[in-house]
Amino acid sequence: MVDDVIDRAVELCTEQKASLSSRREALEADLRRVGTELARLTEAIAGGEALPTVVEAIRVRERRRADLMAQLEHVDGLARAGTPNVTRALRAELRERLTSWSDLLGSNPTDARPVLRRLLEGRLVATPTARKGGRWYEITGTTSYGALLAGLVALVAPG
């Protein structure tokens, strides 16, 4: 499972890099649209309609434009970082981190609970079961290593 998680982290990082140009295009289109809206609102004020709603609409668009510019800067930074170089050494480091994380969770249940809550989807179900040799509880549940995967993607990504 550890190797599967590492492989998926590498795949996600590579997919993320591949989608940067389409993300950049979408951000630029949004910036153009917000710029057009700001120009129209400014013209409304210049025409003598300085209504509070128009002024507030300008404030909202200005905040949106600043947010879009920050996102665009982030995308450009990711593009400059390049494609991840996943070496044996990086795989070994990721494996070591996951293994030590697993050992820590097994040795310290108090610290393990909040981590497991993030990995569990829904609740664990304990079902009493009678088998040869005694009675047992069968514990079932659904987990997702998505939160763990996000941390690994950050480690795999260069820069």
**Mean local confidence (pLDDT), 9-37:** 84
Distances (CA, A) of 122 to 117, 128, 137, 140: 9, 19, 18, 11
Whole-angstrom distance, CA of residue 97 vs CA of residue 104? 10
**pLDDT at res. 152:** 57
Residue whose entry in the numeric block shows the structure tokens 């050494």: 89
Residue in 75, 159, 40, 153 with CA at minimum distance from that of residue 67? 75
The predicted-structure confidence for 27-46, as pLDDT tens digits, reads as follows 999 999 999 999 998 888 88
Residue 108's pLDDT band, with cuts at 50, 70 and 90, is: confident
The predicted-structure confidence for 52-81, as pLDDT tens digits, reads as follows 888 888 899 999 999 999 999 888 887 777
pTM: 0.47
Which range among 7-21, 90-104, 145-159 shows the weakest confidence by mean pLDDT? 145-159
CB-facing half-sphere around the CA of 29: CA atoms within 13 A: 6
